[in-house]
Chain A
Amino acid sequence: MGSLEEVQCLEGHTDRVWQVAWAPSGDMLASCGGDRTVRIWRRQPTSSQQPAEQPQTPQQAEQQPAEQQHQRQQQQQQEDRWVCSAILEDTHSRTIRSVCWSPTGRFLATASFDRTTAIWQHQGGVWENVALLEGHESEVKEVAWNPNGCLIATCSRDKTVWLWEAQPGNEYEVVDVKHGHSQDVKCVRWHPQGEVLASASYDDSIKLWVDEDDEWVCAQTLAGPGVGHTSTVWELAFDAEGRRMVSCSDDGTLKIWACRKDAGRGQLRWQLLSTLTGYHGRTVFTVDWSKEGLIASGCADNAIRIFGEATADSAAAMDAEAVAAAADAAAAEPGLRGLFMQQQPQQQSCDSGGSSSEGGPFCLLCKREQAHPLDVNCVRWHPTDPGLLASAGDDCCVRLWRWHPPPA
Protein backbone atom coordinates (compact mmCIF):
# COMPACT_ATOMS: atom_id res chain seq x y z
CA MET A 1 0.00 0.00 0.00
CA GLY A 2 1.08 3.56 -0.64
CA SER A 3 0.71 6.36 1.82
CA LEU A 4 -0.36 9.97 2.07
CA GLU A 5 1.86 12.19 4.17
CA GLU A 6 0.37 15.42 5.43
CA VAL A 7 2.74 18.21 4.47
CA GLN A 8 0.78 21.25 5.61
CA CYS A 9 -2.48 22.30 7.20
CA LEU A 10 -3.69 25.68 5.94
CA GLU A 11 -5.70 27.37 8.64
CA GLY A 12 -7.68 30.56 8.39
CA HIS A 13 -11.21 29.75 7.27
CA THR A 14 -13.72 30.14 10.10
CA ASP A 15 -16.32 27.71 8.75
CA ARG A 16 -16.51 24.52 6.69
CA VAL A 17 -14.28 24.61 3.58
CA TRP A 18 -16.29 23.38 0.62
CA GLN A 19 -13.86 23.43 -2.25
CA VAL A 20 -10.27 24.05 -3.31
CA ALA A 21 -8.90 24.78 -6.79
CA TRP A 22 -5.29 24.91 -8.00
CA ALA A 23 -4.31 27.71 -10.35
CA PRO A 24 -3.43 26.23 -13.77
CA SER A 25 0.25 27.12 -13.26
CA GLY A 26 0.17 25.43 -9.87
CA ASP A 27 1.64 28.36 -7.94
CA MET A 28 -1.61 29.30 -6.20
CA LEU A 29 -4.48 27.50 -4.51
CA ALA A 30 -7.93 29.00 -3.92
CA SER A 31 -10.29 27.77 -1.21
CA CYS A 32 -13.84 28.77 -0.33
CA GLY A 33 -16.50 27.88 2.18
CA GLY A 34 -19.18 28.67 4.69
CA ASP A 35 -17.42 31.79 5.98
CA ARG A 36 -18.29 33.52 2.68
CA THR A 37 -14.66 34.16 1.80
CA VAL A 38 -12.15 32.90 -0.71
CA ARG A 39 -8.57 32.51 0.42
CA ILE A 40 -5.69 32.52 -2.02
CA TRP A 41 -2.71 30.50 -0.89
CA ARG A 42 0.63 31.10 -2.57
CA ARG A 43 3.67 28.84 -2.77
CA GLN A 44 6.60 30.11 -0.81
CA PRO A 45 9.65 28.04 -1.75
CA THR A 46 11.51 26.69 1.26
CA SER A 47 14.80 28.17 -0.03
CA SER A 48 13.44 31.72 0.10
CA GLN A 49 12.45 31.23 3.72
CA GLN A 50 16.03 30.47 4.66
CA PRO A 51 18.06 33.04 2.69
CA ALA A 52 20.83 33.22 5.30
CA GLU A 53 21.62 29.55 4.88
CA GLN A 54 21.95 29.55 1.13
CA PRO A 55 25.35 31.07 0.29
CA GLN A 56 28.04 28.95 1.89
CA THR A 57 31.59 28.23 1.05
CA PRO A 58 32.86 24.67 1.48
CA GLN A 59 34.97 25.91 4.39
CA GLN A 60 31.95 27.26 6.20
CA ALA A 61 30.14 24.03 5.67
CA GLU A 62 33.09 22.11 7.06
CA GLN A 63 33.09 24.19 10.20
CA GLN A 64 29.48 23.40 10.92
CA PRO A 65 28.72 20.61 13.32
CA ALA A 66 27.40 17.52 11.60
CA GLU A 67 24.03 17.97 13.26
CA GLN A 68 23.46 21.35 11.62
CA GLN A 69 24.42 19.97 8.23
CA HIS A 70 21.93 17.22 8.69
CA GLN A 71 19.24 19.76 9.55
CA ARG A 72 20.03 21.72 6.44
CA GLN A 73 19.73 18.64 4.29
CA GLN A 74 16.38 17.90 5.80
CA GLN A 75 15.18 21.40 5.04
CA GLN A 76 16.16 20.99 1.42
CA GLN A 77 13.98 17.92 1.22
CA GLN A 78 11.09 19.77 2.82
CA GLU A 79 8.03 20.70 0.87
CA ASP A 80 7.42 24.27 -0.16
CA ARG A 81 5.28 26.14 2.33
CA TRP A 82 2.00 27.71 1.29
CA VAL A 83 0.87 30.99 2.82
CA CYS A 84 -2.36 32.95 2.56
CA SER A 85 -1.71 35.84 0.20
CA ALA A 86 -5.21 37.25 -0.23
CA ILE A 87 -8.73 37.03 1.17
CA LEU A 88 -11.62 37.75 -1.18
CA GLU A 89 -14.67 38.84 0.75
CA ASP A 90 -17.65 41.20 0.91
CA THR A 91 -19.09 40.09 -2.42
CA HIS A 92 -21.12 37.00 -1.56
CA SER A 93 -23.71 37.19 1.21
CA ARG A 94 -23.90 33.43 1.74
CA THR A 95 -21.71 30.32 1.56
CA ILE A 96 -19.29 30.21 -1.35
CA ARG A 97 -19.72 26.67 -2.59
CA SER A 98 -17.33 26.53 -5.51
CA VAL A 99 -14.25 28.26 -6.88
CA CYS A 100 -12.72 27.84 -10.35
CA TRP A 101 -9.74 29.41 -12.16
CA SER A 102 -9.91 30.52 -15.76
CA PRO A 103 -7.52 28.53 -17.95
CA THR A 104 -5.05 31.46 -18.03
CA GLY A 105 -5.17 31.88 -14.27
CA ARG A 106 -6.03 35.58 -14.60
CA PHE A 107 -9.62 35.16 -13.45
CA LEU A 108 -11.34 33.32 -10.68
CA ALA A 109 -15.04 32.44 -10.61
CA THR A 110 -16.93 31.85 -7.37
CA ALA A 111 -20.40 30.29 -7.02
CA SER A 112 -22.50 31.05 -3.97
CA PHE A 113 -25.66 30.03 -2.16
CA ASP A 114 -26.63 33.71 -2.64
CA ARG A 115 -27.66 32.70 -6.22
CA THR A 116 -24.84 34.57 -7.92
CA THR A 117 -21.53 33.72 -9.54
CA ALA A 118 -18.77 36.31 -9.21
CA ILE A 119 -15.81 36.82 -11.53
CA TRP A 120 -12.60 38.12 -9.99
CA GLN A 121 -9.63 39.52 -11.86
CA HIS A 122 -6.07 39.30 -10.63
CA GLN A 123 -4.11 42.36 -11.67
CA GLY A 124 -1.08 43.98 -10.12
CA GLY A 125 -1.28 41.72 -7.09
CA VAL A 126 -4.85 42.82 -6.35
CA TRP A 127 -8.06 40.84 -6.72
CA GLU A 128 -11.02 42.78 -8.00
CA ASN A 129 -14.61 41.66 -8.49
CA VAL A 130 -15.27 42.52 -12.14
CA ALA A 131 -18.58 40.78 -12.90
CA LEU A 132 -21.56 39.21 -11.19
CA LEU A 133 -23.55 36.55 -13.05
CA GLU A 134 -27.16 36.63 -11.92
CA GLY A 135 -30.05 34.48 -13.05
CA HIS A 136 -30.21 31.29 -11.03
CA GLU A 137 -33.30 31.09 -8.83
CA SER A 138 -31.57 29.41 -5.90
CA GLU A 139 -28.14 28.37 -4.62
CA VAL A 140 -25.42 28.05 -7.24
CA LYS A 141 -23.59 24.83 -6.48
CA GLU A 142 -20.69 24.85 -8.87
CA VAL A 143 -18.95 26.88 -11.53
CA ALA A 144 -16.63 25.52 -14.22
CA TRP A 145 -14.62 27.30 -16.92
CA ASN A 146 -14.27 25.48 -20.22
CA PRO A 147 -10.74 24.64 -21.43
CA ASN A 148 -10.46 27.58 -23.86
CA GLY A 149 -11.89 30.07 -21.41
CA CYS A 150 -14.79 31.24 -23.59
CA LEU A 151 -17.59 29.54 -21.67
CA ILE A 152 -18.56 29.24 -18.05
CA ALA A 153 -21.01 26.61 -16.85
CA THR A 154 -22.93 26.99 -13.58
CA CYS A 155 -25.45 24.73 -11.89
CA SER A 156 -27.96 25.24 -9.12
CA ARG A 157 -30.56 23.87 -6.78
CA ASP A 158 -33.02 25.35 -9.28
CA LYS A 159 -32.34 22.17 -11.36
CA THR A 160 -30.75 24.04 -14.26
CA VAL A 161 -27.35 24.28 -15.90
CA TRP A 162 -26.48 27.68 -17.37
CA LEU A 163 -23.88 28.46 -20.01
CA TRP A 164 -22.34 31.92 -20.05
CA GLU A 165 -20.14 33.29 -22.82
CA ALA A 166 -17.32 35.69 -22.08
CA GLN A 167 -17.67 38.96 -24.00
CA PRO A 168 -15.18 41.80 -24.31
CA GLY A 169 -15.01 44.08 -21.28
CA ASN A 170 -15.78 41.49 -18.61
CA GLU A 171 -19.33 41.00 -19.81
CA TYR A 172 -20.91 37.58 -19.66
CA GLU A 173 -23.89 36.67 -21.78
CA VAL A 174 -26.23 33.76 -21.13
CA VAL A 175 -26.07 31.50 -24.17
CA ASP A 176 -28.15 28.59 -22.91
CA VAL A 177 -30.18 27.42 -19.93
CA LYS A 178 -30.49 23.66 -19.72
CA HIS A 179 -33.41 22.00 -18.02
CA GLY A 180 -33.28 18.25 -17.85
CA HIS A 181 -32.32 17.29 -14.35
CA SER A 182 -35.34 16.75 -12.11
CA GLN A 183 -33.52 17.87 -8.94
CA ASP A 184 -30.59 20.01 -7.75
CA VAL A 185 -27.56 19.92 -10.00
CA LYS A 186 -24.57 19.35 -7.76
CA CYS A 187 -21.66 19.49 -10.16
CA VAL A 188 -20.64 20.62 -13.66
CA ARG A 189 -17.37 19.50 -15.19
CA TRP A 190 -15.89 20.07 -18.66
CA HIS A 191 -14.29 17.33 -20.70
CA PRO A 192 -10.56 18.16 -21.09
CA GLN A 193 -11.07 18.80 -24.79
CA GLY A 194 -14.06 20.96 -24.01
CA GLU A 195 -16.59 19.36 -26.33
CA VAL A 196 -18.64 17.78 -23.60
CA LEU A 197 -20.07 19.21 -20.41
CA ALA A 198 -21.00 16.72 -17.71
CA SER A 199 -23.46 17.48 -14.92
CA ALA A 200 -24.25 15.44 -11.81
CA SER A 201 -27.40 15.70 -9.76
CA TYR A 202 -29.42 14.96 -6.65
CA ASP A 203 -31.69 13.10 -9.09
CA ASP A 204 -28.99 10.32 -9.08
CA SER A 205 -28.09 10.88 -12.74
CA ILE A 206 -25.19 12.21 -14.78
CA LYS A 207 -25.97 14.07 -17.99
CA LEU A 208 -23.62 14.74 -20.87
CA TRP A 209 -24.24 17.88 -22.88
CA VAL A 210 -22.85 18.63 -26.34
CA ASP A 211 -22.99 21.66 -28.60
CA GLU A 212 -25.20 21.03 -31.63
CA ASP A 213 -25.70 23.98 -33.96
CA ASP A 214 -25.30 26.57 -31.21
CA GLU A 215 -27.57 24.76 -28.84
CA TRP A 216 -26.39 22.56 -26.02
CA VAL A 217 -28.31 19.31 -26.02
CA CYS A 218 -28.31 16.38 -23.66
CA ALA A 219 -26.52 13.65 -25.59
CA GLN A 220 -26.75 11.02 -22.88
CA THR A 221 -28.05 10.37 -19.40
CA LEU A 222 -26.16 7.93 -17.22
CA ALA A 223 -28.73 6.54 -14.82
CA GLY A 224 -31.00 3.66 -14.12
CA PRO A 225 -31.04 0.27 -12.44
CA GLY A 226 -27.82 -1.68 -12.66
CA VAL A 227 -26.00 1.19 -14.34
CA GLY A 228 -26.33 4.50 -12.58
CA HIS A 229 -25.84 5.61 -9.02
CA THR A 230 -28.63 4.85 -6.54
CA SER A 231 -28.40 8.22 -4.75
CA THR A 232 -27.14 11.78 -5.26
CA VAL A 233 -24.13 12.07 -7.57
CA TRP A 234 -21.92 14.63 -5.84
CA GLU A 235 -19.02 15.04 -8.21
CA LEU A 236 -17.24 13.64 -11.22
CA ALA A 237 -13.84 13.95 -12.86
CA PHE A 238 -12.34 13.08 -16.24
CA ASP A 239 -9.00 11.38 -16.75
CA ALA A 240 -6.24 13.34 -18.51
CA GLU A 241 -7.16 12.13 -22.01
CA GLY A 242 -10.89 12.46 -21.46
CA ARG A 243 -11.51 8.83 -22.36
CA ARG A 244 -12.82 7.93 -18.94
CA MET A 245 -14.73 9.58 -16.15
CA VAL A 246 -15.16 8.78 -12.48
CA SER A 247 -18.22 9.77 -10.43
CA CYS A 248 -18.90 9.60 -6.70
CA SER A 249 -22.15 9.38 -4.84
CA ASP A 250 -24.16 9.33 -1.65
CA ASP A 251 -24.62 5.63 -2.43
CA GLY A 252 -21.04 5.10 -1.22
CA THR A 253 -19.62 4.02 -4.57
CA LEU A 254 -17.32 5.34 -7.25
CA LYS A 255 -18.23 4.53 -10.84
CA ILE A 256 -15.79 4.50 -13.73
CA TRP A 257 -17.26 5.33 -17.13
CA ALA A 258 -15.57 4.84 -20.48
CA CYS A 259 -16.19 6.57 -23.77
CA ARG A 260 -16.73 4.25 -26.72
CA LYS A 261 -17.58 4.91 -30.30
CA ASP A 262 -21.02 3.64 -31.20
CA ALA A 263 -20.53 1.07 -33.96
CA GLY A 264 -23.65 2.01 -35.88
CA ARG A 265 -23.78 5.78 -35.89
CA GLY A 266 -20.20 6.59 -34.97
CA GLN A 267 -21.37 8.58 -31.95
CA LEU A 268 -19.43 8.68 -28.75
CA ARG A 269 -21.26 6.85 -25.99
CA TRP A 270 -20.33 6.61 -22.34
CA GLN A 271 -20.68 3.23 -20.70
CA LEU A 272 -20.23 1.96 -17.19
CA LEU A 273 -16.85 0.30 -16.90
CA SER A 274 -16.81 -0.60 -13.23
CA THR A 275 -18.25 0.20 -9.83
CA LEU A 276 -15.98 0.49 -6.80
CA THR A 277 -18.20 -0.76 -3.99
CA GLY A 278 -17.51 -1.52 -0.37
CA TYR A 279 -14.69 0.95 0.22
CA HIS A 280 -16.54 4.01 1.46
CA GLY A 281 -18.47 3.99 4.74
CA ARG A 282 -20.60 7.06 4.01
CA THR A 283 -21.34 9.62 1.31
CA VAL A 284 -18.49 10.21 -1.15
CA PHE A 285 -18.47 13.95 -1.74
CA THR A 286 -15.52 14.38 -4.02
CA VAL A 287 -13.33 12.67 -6.54
CA ASP A 288 -10.38 13.72 -8.70
CA TRP A 289 -8.30 11.95 -11.33
CA SER A 290 -4.61 12.87 -11.55
CA LYS A 291 -2.65 13.19 -14.78
CA GLU A 292 -0.63 10.20 -13.58
CA GLY A 293 -3.79 8.10 -13.37
CA LEU A 294 -4.51 8.14 -9.64
CA ILE A 295 -8.05 8.60 -8.39
CA ALA A 296 -8.47 10.36 -5.03
CA SER A 297 -11.77 10.37 -3.16
CA GLY A 298 -12.99 12.30 -0.13
CA CYS A 299 -15.72 10.90 2.06
CA ALA A 300 -18.06 11.74 4.94
CA ASP A 301 -16.20 9.06 6.94
CA ASN A 302 -13.29 11.55 7.18
CA ALA A 303 -10.97 9.44 5.00
CA ILE A 304 -9.16 10.14 1.76
CA ARG A 305 -8.64 7.12 -0.45
CA ILE A 306 -6.33 6.68 -3.41
CA PHE A 307 -7.17 4.22 -6.18
CA GLY A 308 -4.94 3.17 -9.03
CA GLU A 309 -4.99 0.88 -11.99
CA ALA A 310 -3.38 -2.42 -11.25
CA THR A 311 -0.94 -3.87 -13.68
CA ALA A 312 -1.49 -7.53 -14.53
CA ASP A 313 1.31 -8.57 -12.15
CA SER A 314 0.18 -6.59 -9.16
CA ALA A 315 -3.55 -7.19 -9.62
CA ALA A 316 -3.65 -10.51 -7.78
CA ALA A 317 -1.67 -9.23 -4.77
CA MET A 318 -3.70 -6.03 -4.63
CA ASP A 319 -6.94 -7.89 -4.89
CA ALA A 320 -6.35 -9.77 -1.64
CA GLU A 321 -5.64 -6.53 0.21
CA ALA A 322 -8.53 -4.73 -1.37
CA VAL A 323 -11.01 -7.44 -0.49
CA ALA A 324 -9.81 -7.42 3.11
CA ALA A 325 -10.13 -3.64 3.23
CA ALA A 326 -13.57 -3.74 1.70
CA ALA A 327 -14.71 -6.39 4.15
CA ASP A 328 -13.41 -4.25 7.03
CA ALA A 329 -15.28 -1.27 5.69
CA ALA A 330 -18.50 -3.24 5.45
CA ALA A 331 -18.03 -4.73 8.91
CA ALA A 332 -17.51 -1.28 10.39
CA GLU A 333 -21.00 -0.26 9.34
CA PRO A 334 -23.20 -2.81 11.03
CA GLY A 335 -26.57 -2.19 9.52
CA LEU A 336 -26.17 1.58 9.70
CA ARG A 337 -27.23 1.88 6.13
CA GLY A 338 -28.51 -1.31 4.63
CA LEU A 339 -27.44 -0.21 1.21
CA PHE A 340 -23.83 -1.17 1.77
CA MET A 341 -24.60 -4.54 3.17
CA GLN A 342 -26.59 -5.69 0.19
CA GLN A 343 -23.64 -5.44 -2.08
CA GLN A 344 -20.81 -7.88 -2.30
CA PRO A 345 -17.50 -6.11 -1.90
CA GLN A 346 -15.61 -9.17 -3.06
CA GLN A 347 -17.22 -9.08 -6.44
CA GLN A 348 -16.35 -5.55 -7.30
CA SER A 349 -13.66 -4.39 -4.92
CA CYS A 350 -10.95 -4.92 -7.45
CA ASP A 351 -13.00 -4.74 -10.52
CA SER A 352 -11.98 -6.55 -13.65
CA GLY A 353 -14.64 -5.10 -15.89
CA GLY A 354 -12.24 -3.15 -18.09
CA SER A 355 -10.69 -4.44 -21.26
CA SER A 356 -6.97 -3.88 -21.65
CA SER A 357 -7.48 -0.87 -23.94
CA GLU A 358 -9.43 0.86 -21.21
CA GLY A 359 -6.95 0.10 -18.48
CA GLY A 360 -6.69 -2.47 -15.78
CA PRO A 361 -8.86 -3.00 -12.75
CA PHE A 362 -8.90 -0.28 -10.12
CA CYS A 363 -7.52 -1.08 -6.71
CA LEU A 364 -7.35 0.72 -3.42
CA LEU A 365 -3.75 1.89 -2.98
CA CYS A 366 -4.19 3.86 0.23
CA LYS A 367 -6.81 4.73 2.80
CA ARG A 368 -5.85 7.69 4.90
CA GLU A 369 -8.14 7.54 7.95
CA GLN A 370 -9.04 10.80 9.68
CA ALA A 371 -7.50 12.84 6.88
CA HIS A 372 -9.65 15.56 8.36
CA PRO A 373 -11.30 15.04 11.75
CA LEU A 374 -14.65 15.72 9.99
CA ASP A 375 -16.12 15.23 6.48
CA VAL A 376 -13.76 15.59 3.50
CA ASN A 377 -15.54 17.87 1.01
CA CYS A 378 -12.99 18.23 -1.75
CA VAL A 379 -9.82 16.62 -3.08
CA ARG A 380 -7.76 18.06 -5.96
CA TRP A 381 -4.45 16.90 -7.46
CA HIS A 382 -1.86 19.56 -8.21
CA PRO A 383 -1.72 20.29 -11.97
CA THR A 384 2.07 20.09 -12.39
CA ASP A 385 3.58 18.55 -9.23
CA PRO A 386 2.78 14.81 -9.38
CA GLY A 387 1.63 13.41 -6.06
CA LEU A 388 0.71 16.71 -4.39
CA LEU A 389 -2.92 16.66 -3.27
CA ALA A 390 -5.06 19.35 -1.62
CA SER A 391 -8.15 18.59 0.44
CA ALA A 392 -10.86 20.66 2.12
CA GLY A 393 -12.87 19.66 5.15
CA ASP A 394 -15.62 20.50 7.57
CA ASP A 395 -12.84 21.17 10.10
CA CYS A 396 -12.30 24.62 8.46
CA CYS A 397 -8.92 23.45 7.15
CA VAL A 398 -7.26 22.93 3.82
CA ARG A 399 -4.64 20.20 3.95
CA LEU A 400 -1.81 19.39 1.57
CA TRP A 401 -0.67 15.83 1.13
CA ARG A 402 2.28 14.10 -0.52
CA TRP A 403 1.56 10.77 -2.17
CA HIS A 404 4.15 8.05 -1.64
CA PRO A 405 3.45 5.15 -4.01
CA PRO A 406 3.70 1.55 -2.89
CA PRO A 407 7.23 0.16 -3.15
CA ALA A 408 7.78 -1.37 -6.59
Chain B
Amino acid sequence: MELINPAPKLYERKTTRRKRVEQPVDGGEQREPIDALEVFEHIRDIVDPEHPYTLEQLNVVTEEQVEVDDVAGTVQVRFTPTVEHCSMATLIGLCIRVKLLRALPPRFKTDILLTPGSHASEAAVNKQLADKERVAAALENPNLLQMVDRCLRGAA
Protein backbone atom coordinates (compact mmCIF):
# COMPACT_ATOMS: atom_id res chain seq x y z
CA MET B 1 0.00 0.00 0.00
CA GLU B 2 1.29 3.42 -0.86
CA LEU B 3 2.02 5.51 2.17
CA ILE B 4 0.17 8.81 2.55
CA ASN B 5 3.20 10.47 4.06
CA PRO B 6 6.26 8.39 3.06
CA ALA B 7 8.83 10.44 4.99
CA PRO B 8 7.33 12.02 8.09
CA LYS B 9 9.40 14.41 10.19
CA LEU B 10 10.32 12.88 13.53
CA TYR B 11 10.45 14.54 16.93
CA GLU B 12 12.15 13.54 20.17
CA ARG B 13 10.17 11.99 22.97
CA LYS B 14 10.05 14.77 25.50
CA THR B 15 10.85 14.43 29.15
CA THR B 16 7.77 15.71 30.87
CA ARG B 17 7.54 17.07 34.35
CA ARG B 18 4.55 17.84 36.52
CA LYS B 19 4.22 21.59 36.69
CA ARG B 20 1.74 21.62 39.49
CA VAL B 21 2.86 21.73 43.09
CA GLU B 22 2.10 18.50 44.86
CA GLN B 23 -0.54 19.15 47.49
CA PRO B 24 -0.02 17.62 50.91
CA VAL B 25 -2.61 14.87 51.23
CA ASP B 26 -4.97 15.18 54.20
CA GLY B 27 -5.66 11.77 55.61
CA GLY B 28 -4.99 10.08 52.29
CA GLU B 29 -8.65 10.42 51.27
CA GLN B 30 -8.18 13.20 48.75
CA ARG B 31 -8.32 12.31 45.12
CA GLU B 32 -5.50 13.58 42.98
CA PRO B 33 -7.03 15.64 40.20
CA ILE B 34 -6.42 14.49 36.65
CA ASP B 35 -4.32 16.99 34.68
CA ALA B 36 -3.21 17.52 31.09
CA LEU B 37 0.04 15.63 31.62
CA GLU B 38 -1.78 12.56 32.87
CA VAL B 39 -4.06 12.60 29.83
CA PHE B 40 -1.07 13.15 27.56
CA GLU B 41 0.71 10.19 29.14
CA HIS B 42 -2.22 8.02 28.09
CA ILE B 43 -2.04 9.00 24.43
CA ARG B 44 1.60 9.90 23.66
CA ASP B 45 2.66 6.32 22.93
CA ILE B 46 -0.25 5.41 20.64
CA VAL B 47 1.41 4.09 17.46
CA ASP B 48 0.58 5.76 14.17
CA PRO B 49 -1.58 3.55 11.89
CA GLU B 50 0.97 3.65 9.04
CA HIS B 51 4.36 4.31 10.65
CA PRO B 52 6.23 2.51 13.42
CA TYR B 53 6.36 5.78 15.36
CA THR B 54 4.29 7.12 18.21
CA LEU B 55 1.87 10.02 17.91
CA GLU B 56 4.29 12.05 20.01
CA GLN B 57 7.26 11.25 17.76
CA LEU B 58 5.22 12.43 14.78
CA ASN B 59 4.13 15.53 16.69
CA VAL B 60 0.48 14.52 16.17
CA VAL B 61 -0.20 15.06 19.86
CA THR B 62 1.54 17.37 22.32
CA GLU B 63 0.96 18.09 25.98
CA GLU B 64 0.10 21.70 25.10
CA GLN B 65 -2.80 20.47 22.96
CA VAL B 66 -4.48 18.75 25.89
CA GLU B 67 -6.88 20.70 28.10
CA VAL B 68 -8.35 19.22 31.24
CA ASP B 69 -10.86 20.61 33.71
CA ASP B 70 -11.03 18.04 36.47
CA VAL B 71 -13.81 19.77 38.38
CA ALA B 72 -16.07 20.19 35.34
CA GLY B 73 -15.05 16.73 34.14
CA THR B 74 -14.00 17.80 30.64
CA VAL B 75 -11.05 16.81 28.49
CA GLN B 76 -10.21 18.32 25.13
CA VAL B 77 -7.51 16.85 22.93
CA ARG B 78 -6.46 18.47 19.67
CA PHE B 79 -4.36 16.45 17.27
CA THR B 80 -2.44 17.38 14.14
CA PRO B 81 -2.09 14.87 11.28
CA THR B 82 1.30 14.96 9.52
CA VAL B 83 -0.33 15.87 6.20
CA GLU B 84 -3.55 17.76 5.65
CA HIS B 85 -5.09 15.14 3.40
CA CYS B 86 -4.34 12.34 5.84
CA SER B 87 -6.95 9.65 5.29
CA MET B 88 -5.96 8.15 8.62
CA ALA B 89 -7.11 11.21 10.58
CA THR B 90 -10.40 9.61 11.66
CA LEU B 91 -8.64 6.42 12.71
CA ILE B 92 -6.05 8.36 14.71
CA GLY B 93 -8.83 10.34 16.42
CA LEU B 94 -10.71 7.12 17.12
CA CYS B 95 -7.59 5.61 18.72
CA ILE B 96 -7.24 8.65 21.00
CA ARG B 97 -10.93 8.48 21.89
CA VAL B 98 -10.83 4.75 22.64
CA LYS B 99 -7.68 5.06 24.71
CA LEU B 100 -9.24 7.78 26.83
CA LEU B 101 -12.53 5.87 27.09
CA ARG B 102 -10.58 3.00 28.58
CA ALA B 103 -8.18 5.03 30.71
CA LEU B 104 -10.21 7.89 32.19
CA PRO B 105 -13.06 7.69 34.72
CA PRO B 106 -16.34 7.60 32.77
CA ARG B 107 -17.52 10.92 34.25
CA PHE B 108 -15.15 12.77 31.89
CA LYS B 109 -16.69 14.31 28.77
CA THR B 110 -14.03 14.03 26.10
CA ASP B 111 -13.80 16.11 22.93
CA ILE B 112 -11.30 14.95 20.31
CA LEU B 113 -10.73 17.58 17.64
CA LEU B 114 -8.32 18.30 14.82
CA THR B 115 -6.02 21.26 15.29
CA PRO B 116 -7.76 24.10 13.42
CA GLY B 117 -6.49 24.32 9.85
CA SER B 118 -4.62 21.01 10.02
CA HIS B 119 -6.86 18.97 7.78
CA ALA B 120 -8.79 19.36 4.53
CA SER B 121 -11.90 17.71 6.00
CA GLU B 122 -11.61 19.17 9.46
CA ALA B 123 -15.31 19.68 10.17
CA ALA B 124 -16.31 16.26 8.84
CA VAL B 125 -13.66 14.43 10.88
CA ASN B 126 -14.51 16.38 14.02
CA LYS B 127 -18.20 15.64 13.59
CA GLN B 128 -17.58 11.95 13.13
CA LEU B 129 -15.36 11.71 16.19
CA ALA B 130 -17.97 13.53 18.28
CA ASP B 131 -20.80 11.18 17.27
CA LYS B 132 -20.92 8.58 20.01
CA GLU B 133 -23.30 6.39 18.06
CA ARG B 134 -20.82 6.11 15.19
CA VAL B 135 -17.98 5.51 17.63
CA ALA B 136 -20.01 2.77 19.37
CA ALA B 137 -20.82 1.14 16.02
CA ALA B 138 -17.19 1.38 14.87
CA LEU B 139 -16.03 -0.40 18.00
CA GLU B 140 -18.40 -3.29 17.24
CA ASN B 141 -16.66 -3.74 13.90
CA PRO B 142 -14.00 -6.43 14.55
CA ASN B 143 -11.67 -5.27 11.74
CA LEU B 144 -11.70 -1.68 12.87
CA LEU B 145 -11.31 -2.64 16.51
CA GLN B 146 -8.32 -4.77 15.56
CA MET B 147 -6.70 -1.77 13.83
CA VAL B 148 -7.37 0.42 16.86
CA ASP B 149 -5.99 -2.18 19.24
CA ARG B 150 -2.85 -2.52 17.13
CA CYS B 151 -2.23 1.23 17.43
CA LEU B 152 -2.94 1.16 21.17
CA ARG B 153 -0.63 -1.75 21.90
CA GLY B 154 2.30 0.63 22.23
CA ALA B 155 0.40 2.77 24.71
CA ALA B 156 -0.39 0.15 27.29
- A→B interface (CB under 8 Å): 16, 34, 94-95, 97, 113, 138-139, 141, 157, 184, 186, 202, 231-232, 250, 282-283, 300-301, 332, 336-337, 373-375, 394
Contacts and interface: CB of A to CB of B under 8 A. Distances in A.
27 contacts: A16-B136, A94-B137, A94-B140, A95-B137, A95-B140, A97-B133, A113-B136, A113-B140, A139-B137, A141-B133, A157-B134, A157-B137, A184-B134, A186-B133, A202-B131, A231-B127, A250-B127, A250-B130, A282-B109, A283-B130, A300-B109, A301-B109, A336-B76, A373-B106, A373-B107, A374-B107, A375-B132
Interface string B95-125: 0000000000011010100000000000000
Nearest to B107: A373
A282 B132 CA distance: 12
Contact of B111 (A184, A301, A336): A336
Interface in B58-114: 72, 74, 76, 106-107, 109, 111
Nearest to A336: B74
Given A16-B136, A95-B137, A374 B106 contact: yes
A69 B137 CA distance: 53
Interface in B38-55: none
Nearest to A93: B140
Nearest to A300: B109
Interface string B115-156: 000000000000100111110110010000000000000000
Q: How large is the interface on B (under 10, 10 to 19, 20 to 34, 35 or more residues)?
A: 10 to 19
Contacts of B133: 97, 141, 186
Main secondary structure of the interface of A (DSSP, over half): loop
A394 B132 CA distance: 11
Contacts of B74: 336
Contact of A232 (B72, B131, B136, B140): B131
Contacts of A337: 111
Contacts of B106: 373-374, 394
A116 B15 CA distance: 50
A301 B130 CA distance: 14
Nearest to A301: B109
Contacts of A374: 106-107
Contacts of A232: 127, 131
Nearest to A36: B140
Contacts of B136: 16, 34, 95, 113
B5 to A, nearest CB: 28
Contacts of B130: 250, 283
A390 B1 CA distance: 51
Contacts of A394: 106
Contacts of B131: 202, 232, 250
Contacts of B109: 282, 300-301
Contacts of A231: 127
Contacts of A34: 136
Nearest to A232: B131
B137 A113 contact: yes
A211 B12 CA distance: 63
A186 B132 CA distance: 12
Given A113-B140, A232-B131, A374-B107, 18 more contacts: A94-B137, A95-B137, A113-B136, A139-B137, A141-B133, A157-B137, A186-B133, A202-B127, A202-B131, A250-B127, A250-B130, A282-B109, A300-B132, A301-B109, A332-B72, A336-B76, A336-B111, A373-B107
Interface centre among A16, A141, A336, A394 (most CB of B within 10 A): A336
A202 to B, nearest CB: 7
